[in-house]
């Protein structure tokens, strides 16, 4: 029975307050629709980036095995780097976002409030402007790892769909550029460290050679003719090697300058001199013809062929000289080793042999270190130009067509539901707290006494009219 009474009272309430409910719901719905359709739509674009944890050393023969635990930490570290200020600063600079009306300074709520009040804020420094742009861009960028995979999503939300896609892709590209730059910087730093050590070892090797020279000079004074002969041969080889090296350097400079006449004169080989003579003779013939003469065209082609032959032959001569310098260096090194072996096998005093043996061991150790570091230095020189990124964009962000904010369908549904809830709540308030007693149950509930009778509402105007007629 109570349930029937409650249902009847609720139905009666809705019937009595139907105008208030509909009016309130319509007002709320209209205001909400105005707000929804005046909001600026925002679009979100997402680029997908993959972190490859395998080694990218192009010069390595084998690649190391991956460790799942280390890989997980590596990917999380890359997510942190993607969120760093430096990556965002690169994006801001690449796209001039400081002057952008969405991400630049002056787009925050404080700035809009000051503009509404016609107040001006104090001028900001370059660092403050950049910091404000970074904060604005960071609020629009979302970086997240896709579960435990090697994929990282880079999302950017903006009022402009094209800008959202461009900034999402730019964030990934800026991160990859910084990754390559960091690897190159690390390689260059290692190369510079090794280069300094190579220079130090080279100075030690020169000092060792000087000590050997002093030692063998002392041995010559001790009347060791076999050592003196080897020493003379070594000095001759060194002198010749130095002379040929200087000549090679001069010829290389001439070849780079393109002065073929001087280069041929310095080389002085009969074949080159003959080719150069033919070339000069042909050049004089070419000069004697008119610019558009058919014969001149053929002579110009012949002249170009002679120039090519001169360059090729000169390069061959310089290459032969390089081999000659290398052979002289090998010969000097062989004589040096033979001189030291003969000294160790000679009948020198034990003190002299011990000194020579110590110098020999020291020189061999230093030379081995020098060769190893020199090879590593050359490898690092090549690596600095062959660095590959550890990450790549596997799916570039596309221009979105549907805004992520506001969600019109969801907003309308929630607005409709909320408007009727508020309207019904308003009707309940008016029914029980504003409009007096409206039902028997309400009277008994408020007065705490049983209700004995209910009188219908009387129209007093009709009653006064009847009474006047009787009189």
CA atoms within 13 A on the CB side of 370: 14
Residue whose structure tokens are 């002289």: 328
| pLDDT number for residue 163 | 92
Q: What pLDDT score does 468 carry?
A: 55
pLDDT of residue 123: 54
Residues 313 and 323: beta-carbon distance below 8 Å: no
Under 8 Å between Cβ of 254 and 263: yes
Token digits of residue 458: 């009387």
Which pLDDT score, from 0 to 100, does residue 399 have?
92
In the predicted structure, residue 301 carries a pLDDT above the cut 50: yes
Which burial class, exposed, middle or buried, applies to 397 when counting CB atoms under 10 A from its CB (0-12, 13-18, 19+)?
A: buried
Q: What is the CA radius of gyration of the chain?
A: 47
Residue 297 has pLDDT above 60, yes or no: yes
Q: What is the pLDDT of residue 143?
A: 93
Nearby residues of 57 by Cβ (< 8 Å), 6 or more positions away: 63, 383
State residue 5's pLDDT score: 46
Lowest mean pLDDT among 37-51, 278-292, 383-397: 278-292
More confident residue, 398 or 112: 398
Give the pLDDT score at 35.
82
- Rounded Cα distance between 105 and 272, Å, is 71
Q: What is the per-residue pLDDT across 260-276, written as a single tens digit (0 to 9) for each?
A: 888 888 888 888 888 88
Contact between 380 and 186 under an 8 Å Cβ cutoff? The reply is no
Q: What is the pLDDT of residue 154?
A: 94
- What per-residue string of b and e applies to 33-71 under the rule 16 or more CB within 10 Å gives b? eeeeeeeeebbbbbbbbbbebeeeeeeeeeeeeeeeeeb
| Residue 21 predicted with pLDDT over 70 | yes
Is the model's pLDDT at 464 over the cut of 60?
no
Rounded CA gap, 118 and 111, in Å? Answer: 10
- pLDDT at position 88 over 90: yes
Give me 450's structure tokens: 């049983």
- As a whole number of angstroms, the distance between CA 362 and CA 354 comes to 12
Q: What is the pLDDT of residues 170-210, one digit of tens each?
A: 999 999 999 999 988 988 899 899 989 988 988 888 888 77
Q: How far is CA 114 from the centre of its chain?
A: 37
Helix (H, G, I), strand (E, B) or coil at 149: coil
Q: Residue 336: which pLDDT band, with cuts at 50, 70 and 90?
A: confident
Better-predicted residue by pLDDT, 42 or 3: 42
Mean pLDDT computed over 364-392: 86
User: Tokens representing 101?
Assistant: 């009306």
Count the alpha carbons within 13 Å of 57 in the hemisphere toward its beta carbon. Answer: 11
The mean pLDDT value for 35-56 works out to 85
Distance CA 467, CA 471 (A): 7
- Between residues 437 and 153, which one has the greater pLDDT? 153
CB atoms within 10 A of CB 118: 6
16 falls in which pLDDT band (50, 70, 90)?
A: confident
pLDDT classification of 4: cutoffs 50, 70, 90: very low
User: Residue 144 forms beta bridges with which residues?
Assistant: 153
**Mean pLDDT throughout 234-253?**
82
Give the burial class of 154: count Cβ atoms within 10 A of its Cβ; 0-12 exposed, 13-18 middle, 19 or more buried: buried
For 376, counting Cβ atoms within 10 Å of its Cβ (0-12 exposed, 13-18 middle, 19+ buried), the class is: middle
Q: Which residue has the higher pLDDT, 97 or 56?
A: 97
- Euclidean distance between CA atoms 4 and 280, whole angstroms: 124
Residue 225: its pLDDT value, please? Answer: 66
pTM: 0.61
Q: 48 by DSSP, 3-state: which?
A: strand
In order of 2, 12, 23, 432, 435, the CA distances from 429 in angstroms are 22, 15, 15, 6, 9
pLDDT exceeds 50 at position 1: no
Which of the two residues, 397 and 212, has the higher pLDDT score?
397
> Of 171, 165, 166, 163, which is closest to residue 144 (Cα–Cα)?
171
Mean pLDDT, residues 211-231 taken together: 66
């Amino acid at each position: 029975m109570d349930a029937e009474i409650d249902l009847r009272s609720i139905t009666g309430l809705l019937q009595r307050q139907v105008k208030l409910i509909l009016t309130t719901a319509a007002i709320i719905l209209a205001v909400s629709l105005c707000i929804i359709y005046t909001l600026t739509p925002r679009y979100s674009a997402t680029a997908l980036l993959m972190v490859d944890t395998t080694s990218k050393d192009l010069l390595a023969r084998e690649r190391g095995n991956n460790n799942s635990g280390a890989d997980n930490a590596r990917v999380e570290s890359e997510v942190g780097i993607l969120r760093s200020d430096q990556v965002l600063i690169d994006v801001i600079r690449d796209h001039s976002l400081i002057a952008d009306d969405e991400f630049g300074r002056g787009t925050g709520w404080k700035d809009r409030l000051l503009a509404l009040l016609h107040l001006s804020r104090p001028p900001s420094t370059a660092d403050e402007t950049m910091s404000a742009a970074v904060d604005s861009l960071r609020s629009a960028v979302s970086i997240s790892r896709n579960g435990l995979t090697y994929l990282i999503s880079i999302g950017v939300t903006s009022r402009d769909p094209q800008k959202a896609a461009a900034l999402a892709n730019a964030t990934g590209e800026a991160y990859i550029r910084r990754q390559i730059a960091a690897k190159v910087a690390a390689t260059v730093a290692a190369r510079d460290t090794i280069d300094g050590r190579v220079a130090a070892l080279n100075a030690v090797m020169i000092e060792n050679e000087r000590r050997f020279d002093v030692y063998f000079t002392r041995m010559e004074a001790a009347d060791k003719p076999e050592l003196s002969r080897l020493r003379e041969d070594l000095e001759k080889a060194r002198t010749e090697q130095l002379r040929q090296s200087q000549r090679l350097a001069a010829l290389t400079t001439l070849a780079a300058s393109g002065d073929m006449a001087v280069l041929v004169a310095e080389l002085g080989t009969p074949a080159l001199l003959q080719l150069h003579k033919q070339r000069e003779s042909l050049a004089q013939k070419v000069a004697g013809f008119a610019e558009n003469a058919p014969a001149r065209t053929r002579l110009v082609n012949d002249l170009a062929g002679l120039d090519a032959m001169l360059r090729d032959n000169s390069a061959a001569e310089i290459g032969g000289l390089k081999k000659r310098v290398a052979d002289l260096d090998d010969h000097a090194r062989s004589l040096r080793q033979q001189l030291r072996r003969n000294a160790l096998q000679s009948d020198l005093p034990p003190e002299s042999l011990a000194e020579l043996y110590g110098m020999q061991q020291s020189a061999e150790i230093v030379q081995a270190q020098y060769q190893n570091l020199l090879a590593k230095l050359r490898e690092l020189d090549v690596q600095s130009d062959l660095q590959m990124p550890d990450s790549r964009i596997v799916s570039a962000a596309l221009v979105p067509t549907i805004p992520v904010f506001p969600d019109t369908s969801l907003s309308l549904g929630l607005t409709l539901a909320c408007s009727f809830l508020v309207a019904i709540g308003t009707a309940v308030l008016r029914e029980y707290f504003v409009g007096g007693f409206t039902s028997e149950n309400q009277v008994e509930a408020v007065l705490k006494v049983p209700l004995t009778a209910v009188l219908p509402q009387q129209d007093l105007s009709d009653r006064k009219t009847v009474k006047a007629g009787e009189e």
